Amino acid sequence: MILTITEHVARQRHIETPAEKKARDRYHERNRFDFSLAYPQIPQYDYLPTGKLTIAAGRWPSRTWRDTPNTPLEQRMPEVVAGIITLAADTREHEDELARAKELRRQAQDRYEFLIQRRKTEEQATEALDRDALNFERANRIRAYLTAFRENAERSGGLSEDQLEWLKWAAAKADWIDPLIDVADIILDAPEPKRSGYW
């Protein structure tokens, strides 16, 4: 807790002294190319002590005690000490309340981030599911096509060597597309080739 003691000061317009008048006249009478003399700083106001003291304690909550016309502050010290003790308890309660509010904000932020992350994870999982279902459908469509292709070729006189190779290649591609079969493609799963630095 911050504790300050200040004295009230009275302000009155400054009355120029003979020395200040002489310094100002000397400045105005100097050679205008003589920069060795600085303009005299004459104050506009004088501040006079009043002997009226103020004790301030705390920031928020805070309390102040001043001299009164009937009682100087020195005689009110028991009241000041009791007030500071009460203020310390109020300050502690206020700081605890601020800490609780900060903790509630942190929990709300954590909950918000958890819900956002859960939603993002759910969206990604749903997209992956949809992608797998589409790939499964594509793989089965390719297999159905390969079956129809084989049956048509056999009715037309049999399969050539090139057609058998192509059917084998196409079946491997269908297996690669199918998400239920864990198989890699030697070309499509390999890293993308890098362009040579030479033209």
- Contact between 57 and 75 under an 8 Å Cβ cutoff? The reply is no
Q: What is the mean pLDDT of the chain?
A: 88
C-alpha closest to that of 55 among 2, 118, 95, 105: 2
* Residues ≥6 apart with Cβ < 8 Å to 172: 183, 185
Residue 31 has what pLDDT?
A: 67
- Chain-centroid distance, C-alpha 57: 33
* More confident: 87 or 35: 87
- For the cut 90, the answer to whether the pLDDT of residue 104 exceeds it is yes
- pLDDT (0 to 100) of residue 178: 95
From CA 97, how far away is CA 94, in angstroms rounded?
Answer: 5
Residue 100 is predicted with a pLDDT of: 96
Instruction: Taking residues 103-122, report their average pLDDT.
Output: 96
Among 8-22, 99-113, 149-163, name the one with the lowest average pLDDT. Answer: 8-22
Question: How many CB atoms neighbour CB 177 within 10 A?
Answer: 20
pLDDT over 90 at 167, yes or no: yes
Determine which of 17-21, 27-31, 184-188 has the lowest per-residue pLDDT on average.
Answer: 27-31
Burial class (CB in 10 A: 0-12, 13-18, 19+), 170: middle
Of 36 and 180, the structure prediction assigns the larger pLDDT to 180
Q: What percent of the chain has pLDDT over 70?
A: 96
> Could you give the dihedral angle defined by the CA atoms of residues 47, 50, 56 and 62, in that order, rounded to the nearest 10 degrees?
-90
Residue 55 has pLDDT above 70, yes or no: yes
Question: Among the ranges 38-42, 83-87, 113-117, which has the highest mean pLDDT value?
Answer: 113-117
pLDDT of residue 68: 82
